[in-house]
Amino acid sequence: MEKKITLQDKTFKIFIPNSEIEKAIDQVAARMNKDFSSYTDSNPPVMLCTLNGAVMYAAELLKRLTFPLEFKALKLTSYQGTKSTGEVKAELPPSIANFKGRDVIVVEDIVDTGNTIVTLKNLLEDLGAAKIFVTALLLKPEVYKKDVKLDYVAMSIPNRFIVGFGLDYNELGRNTEDIYVLDS
The pLDDT assigned to 75 comes to 78
DSSP letter at 22?
H
The pLDDT assigned to 125 comes to 93
The pLDDT assigned to 150 comes to 97
Point out the residues that are catalytic: 112
Nearest to 183, CA basis, from 155, 162, 169, 168: 162
DSSP letter at 100?
T
The pLDDT assigned to 98 comes to 77
Contacts of 75 (CB under 8 A, 6+ apart): 50, 51, 52, 90, 91
pLDDT in tens, the chain (184 residues): 689 999 999 999 999 999 999 999 999 999 999 999 999 999 899 999 988 889 999 999 999 999 999 999 887 665 555 565 666 666 655 556 678 899 999 999 999 999 889 988 998 999 899 999 999 999 999 999 999 999 999 999 999 999 999 999 999 999 999 999 999 7
Q: Which architecture does CATH list for 4-182? A: 3-Layer(aba) Sandwich (3.40)
Q: What is the pTM of this model?
A: 0.88
Q: How many CB atoms neighbour CB 158 within 10 A?
A: 11
- State the DSSP string of 27-41: HHHHHHHHHTTT--T
Q: How far is CA 142 from the centre of its chain?
A: 18
Query: So where are the chain's domains?
Result: 4-182
- As a three-state string, the secondary structure of 45-80 is CEEEEEECCCHHHHHHHHHHCCCCCEEEEEEEEEEE
